[in-house]
Structure 1
Amino acid sequence: MSGTQRHGSSRYEVPEDAATHTCPYCDRPFRTERLRRLHVGLDHPELIDDDERDAFQDTYLDENEEIGLFRLKVLALLVLIYFSFLFVYLVVN
């Protein structure tokens, strides 16, 4: 059984027993506190206090580091795939 929460023109299906972290400004539910902090900092920057702003900035910087690491791993994987195909082509021909 799940409940439906509305946010503007969007609807969110949230299971009744699911733990959620709700935005204090628009009541939008989030799966984790981290996602809620990012949402508050990006969508409600004029409403947050200094503590929330600091928490958002720390979370945002951590997120950027993780994205950078992910991009580096994907690039390494693409290079590996490229050279694998190149070596297979050299062996077959």
Structure 2
Amino acid sequence: MTDYNGTANGQRAQVPEAMQTLAAYLQRSLDNTASIVMMRHTASVYTVYLGDPEGLREDLKQVGTIEISLANEMLESTSSGANQILIGG
């Protein structure tokens, strides 16, 4: 956990690295009007793509990798549907 964010009562709370990483990829997806797609090709990392998950795999643009532990933390911290997480104010 490396960044801090204000809480409702004005105290500073640490923002988990997984949420910071997710926020960065979400910003890229918004900037590119594309979906984030994570695929696990090896035992240690997920490959992150931007594009249409219903389209051809060849049309996805690879934009990075995420260690499995970080990706699992992202998945455990979110759910299907709307998620509201304030990161960086």
TM-score tier by shorter-chain length is under 0.3
* Bigger radius of gyration: 1
* Higher helix fraction (1 or 2): 1
Greater relative contact order: 1 or 2 (C-alpha under 8 angstroms, separation 6 or more)? 2
Q: TM-score, structure 2 length as denominator?
A: 0.23
